[in-house]
Amino acid sequence: MAFIQTVINRERDQLEPALPQGLRELYDGDLWFRESPAQRPLVVANFVSTLDGVASYGIQGHAGGSTISGSDPADRFIMGLLRASADAIMVGSGTVNDTNPKSLWIPDYTYPDAKLLYAQYRVSVLGKSKYPLLVVVSGSGKLELERAIFQTAGVPTVIITTPAGEDALAKAGAMKLPSVQIHALDAEGGIISPLAMLRLLYVQHGVRRLLHEGGPTLFGQFLAAEAVDELFLTLSPQIAGRGGDAIRPAIVQGTKFIPETAPWFQLLSVKQSAEHLYLRYRHAESQK
Ligand SMILES: NC(=O)c1ccc[n+]([C@@H]2O[C@H](COP(=O)([O-])OP(=O)(O)OC[C@H]3O[C@@H](n4cnc5c(N)ncnc54)[C@H](OP(=O)(O)O)[C@@H]3O)[C@@H](O)[C@H]2O)c1
């Protein structure tokens, strides 16, 4: 991995470092998060985008974030660090379906070179469980249950779905999967409210820090619900372009704002490694 260098850091220094020294060196600085707001987890999102704002090529086999980042090692390292920092990681079914079936959303899998550093930080410093909980959101319950995320002992997964989705999952045998828990929540037109999901995770799973990894459809709904506190955005130095024929989503798809309601963000830090930029923003409403 090329060195990560901090270009701008507007985070206030804390008395005690949060990251162990090895991770502070690799990240070129410390990584602090605020306490969760009352009654819901702190929601921190992480995306990678091209210079022209494309988050997915939408081409089978090349739809994922790694095509956008060019499998950039520093992006993988930061993704692993954010995963190691989180109680739970949330993804929508569209993102799951476009990922390698063997993928696991755990720090070791994300950037194996830092496996020991992540484990020391997560378990010894943060006092968290070995692996973050993976939360998959699917209204329909149409999920490929043979995927590693549903089959790996010791790596817990929660599926948030609708009552109809729960029936579909039960028929497919999901209730027999030992590492999987299913929660059915009411939905309007198949859409479960983001705040209901956050309340469930806060109350039933003790989630205080949630890493939101999209995709663009799910993320847009969380933004509209004013339930996003931070955004980590890797800017990858390529241009994907768009034709009139194909959808190439940006980091938000299916939700649109007007100037009066569009969320604004404050820049917290800028890091750089080779040609990539790593931006950290805080939602302007979460400044207190
Ligand atoms: N560049 C990046 O950083 C990045 C990050 C993430 C994803 N991506 C890419 O983005 C693409 C996926 O985009 P996407 O927007 O289609 O995926 P998505 O947001 O991950 O998934 C959409 C699906 O999630 C479920 N869902 C979302 N909101 C829901 C709600 N409120 N209630 C119930 N179910 C809900 C629905 O599943 P059901 O249809 O099952 O009901 C919906 O079809 C993939 O190609 C992925 O690789 C890129």
Residue 218 CB–ligand 1 contact under 6 Å = yes
Residue 48 CB–ligand 1 contact under 6 Å = yes
pLDDT digits (tens, 9 = 90+) for 197-234: 999 999 999 999 999 999 999 999 999 999 999 999 99
pLDDT digits (tens, 9 = 90+) for 155-197: 999 999 999 999 999 999 999 999 999 999 999 988 999 999 9
Give the residue whose CA is nearest to atom 25 of ligand 1.
138
- Which residue, among 42, 17, 15, has the nearest Cα to 30 in the 3D structure? 17
Pairing of strands 42-50, 133-137: unpaired
User: What's the confidence (pLDDT) of residue 288?
Assistant: 44
Q: Which residues neighbour 220 within 8 Å (Cβ) at sequence distance 6 or greater?
A: 252, 253, 254, 255
- pTM, rounded to two decimals: 0.97
Atom nearest to 141 CA in ligand 1: 40
Task: Give dist(CA 284, CA 288) in Å, integer.
Answer: 9
Atom nearest to 221 CA in ligand 1: 31
- Assign 19 to helix, strand or coil: coil
